[in-house]
Amino acid sequence: MSAAPQYETNYDDKFDARDYLNEYFQVVDQTNANLLKFIVEVLQKEDISGAKVINFGCGPCIDTVISVAPKCTEIHMSDYLDANLQEVREWIAQAPDAFNWEHFLRSGLQLEAEFAQADTTVTDAQIAERSAIIRQKITQLMTGDAKQAQPLGAEGHQQYDALVMFFCLEAAAADFAEWQQMVQNVMSLLKPNGLIIWAMTALQTEGYQVGDETFQVIPLKENDIRDALAPCVASESLQIDYFDVVEHELVQGAFLVTARTRA
């Protein structure tokens, strides 16, 4: 009998921000398109005007805030690794080596136009305008750790109107019990009636590739999400969708979750 594969859990030494960007964000594939569409769709229904938003476990990425930025007041970006935040800082600073998010910006703007039944031709000027809005709305970048009861630290602790969290806790947790605890920790960042926009790998996904490393993922079922959120969300607000992921061998699918914390 062969032993179950032991995948990497050491983010401090083994996670390379550029390898991650190159692995998952070179092209807007079907998975990325589904994720961008999820955000656009949620924001058709949910009002985030005046909202202060936390993008927790943001990684080195800005794709998750492309459609959020023009609708909210302020965005705080948090990740466990400062090296990931550094990629975001470089994009904000328009550093020469910053990762190029133009293709994601174009797709996000196209999706928004489709939903608005407007012309889906996206110009370079529109991309520049949206980039400027994102740069202006990101007002803080801070390290955070979902293992802590106060994931932004006691000093950084504050509550938000909305949480955006993509592919973080299932990758960060050592085991299922820790994942459950991390959900409670991160949900404490939301105000009552706060909006959750949450995507995670699903079902038999147990790892994901970053360069030469394969990082561990906790496999999750729909009921795991329902149970973990039960103490903190209004049950009628909870919606969970699923799609198959075809591009990444180790990833079976993704859950897309929206909910509101109890009033």
Ligand X SMILES: C[S@@+](CC[C@H](N)C(=O)[O-])C[C@H]1O[C@@H](n2cnc3c(N)ncnc32)[C@H](O)[C@@H]1O
147 binds ligand X (CB under 6 A): yes
Which one among 51, 141, 163, 171 touches ligand X, defined by CB under 6 A?
171
Contact segment (CB under 6 A) with ligand X among 39-47, 76-84, 120-128, 239-247 equals 76-84
29 binds ligand X (CB under 6 A): no
Alpha carbon of residue 124 to chain centroid: 25
258 binds ligand X (CB under 6 A): no
172 binds ligand X (CB under 6 A): yes
200 binds ligand X (CB under 6 A): no
Contact segment (CB under 6 A) with ligand X among 67-75, 140-148, 219-227, 254-262 equals 140-148
Instruction: Tell me 167's DSSP state.
Output: S
Contact segment (CB under 6 A) with ligand X among 38-46, 92-100, 139-147, 242-250 equals 139-147
**Beta carbon nearer to ligand X, 19 or 262:** 19
Structure tokens at 192: 């009552």
* Contact assessment for residue 177 and residue 113, using Cβ atoms and an 8 Å cutoff: no
Report which of 217, 220, 219 is spatially closest to residue 208, judged by C-alpha positions. Answer: 217
168 binds ligand X (CB under 6 A): yes
Side chain identity, residue 106? R
Report which of 171, 179, 170 is spatially closest to residue 147, judged by C-alpha positions. Answer: 179
* Contact assessment for residue 68 and residue 39, using Cβ atoms and an 8 Å cutoff: yes
Furthest C-alpha separation in the chain = 59
**Beta carbon nearer to ligand X, 51 or 217:** 217
Nearest-approach distance from CB 208 to ligand X, in angstroms: 6
84 binds ligand X (CB under 6 A): yes
Which one among 91, 101, 160, 167 touches ligand X, defined by CB under 6 A?
167
Residue by residue, DSSP assigns 113-166 as: HHHTT------HHHHHHHHHHHHHHEEEEEE--TTSSSTTHHHH---EEEEEEE
For residues 33-62, which are near ligand X according to CB under 6 A?
57-59, 61
7 binds ligand X (CB under 6 A): no
Structure tokens at 48: 């985030």
Report which of 244, 245, 242, 241 is spatially closest to residue 259, judged by C-alpha positions. Answer: 241
Nearest-approach distance from CB 79 to ligand X, in angstroms: 5
Nearest-approach distance from CB 132 to ligand X, in angstroms: 22
Which residues are at the interface with ligand X (CB under 6 A)?
11, 15, 57-59, 61, 79-81, 84, 144-147, 166-168, 171-172
